[in-house]
Amino acid sequence: MTSPQRLFDCLEYLMDQGNKPDLLSAKENGDWRKYSTHEVKSIVDQLSAGLLQAGIGYGDGSPESRDKIAVLSKNRPEWILVDLAVQRSGAVLTPFYPTIHINELEYTLNDSQVKLIFVNSADDLEKVESIKDRVPSLTEIYTFEKVENDNTEQGILNFVNSHPTDMLAMIAHKHSFLARLFRDIHTPSVSFQVHLPLLVLKN
């Protein structure tokens, strides 16, 4: 690629420059977690494909018809990965910092008709769960961090490649969930805890 035209095109451009071992880095449990250029691109490809398979997308191209995905999180690599994947799917990212007031969060989620939200931690999950019944468009909540929950079931996952038409998934339950870095999903009826480093798509 000679010149990126869209933000997510930078991944192809960076791949042409070589596989940098630490394109993204962050501390996890006191240790540095590094993401190579190849790993970042692979995760973004898989996550965007999973979003498309889950029915998230561009609509007719108008701002109103494009699906909205939210992130409620502190700064971390997963935020960037979700942002790039959402852009690539044609949807729109609605970002929030964890300090947002609960009333503002509820209003904005409703105003933008957010369908899915990725949250940072148990505290952020609790905040969203406290208002989810008043946000009818919100169908699923995904956590970046493992969240202990009494209503947790194991999901059986299968690898998903970067091409939506070739996707396969072995899913133990009729709920949609994504898990690559995002280990938990919390829906109004059930929570899934995922420990395998794979992406899972809507069944």
Residues 68-109 pLDDT 10s: 999 999 988 888 888 888 988 889 999 999 999 999 999 999
Sheet of 92-96, strand order: 92-96, 68-72, 114-119, 140-143, 184-186, 191-193, 152-154
Could you give the CA distance from residue 25 to residue 161 in angstroms, rounded to a whole number? 24
Let me know if domain 7-193 sits in CATH 3.40.50.12780.
yes
Burial 89-121 (b: 16+ CB within 10 A, else e): bbbbbbebeeeeeeeebbebbeeeebbbbbbbb
pTM for this one?
A: 0.71
Residues 27-84 pLDDT 10s: 888 888 888 888 888 888 888 888 887 788 888 888 888 999 999 999 888 888 888 8
The answer to whether the beta carbons of residues 182 and 201 sit under 8 Å apart is no
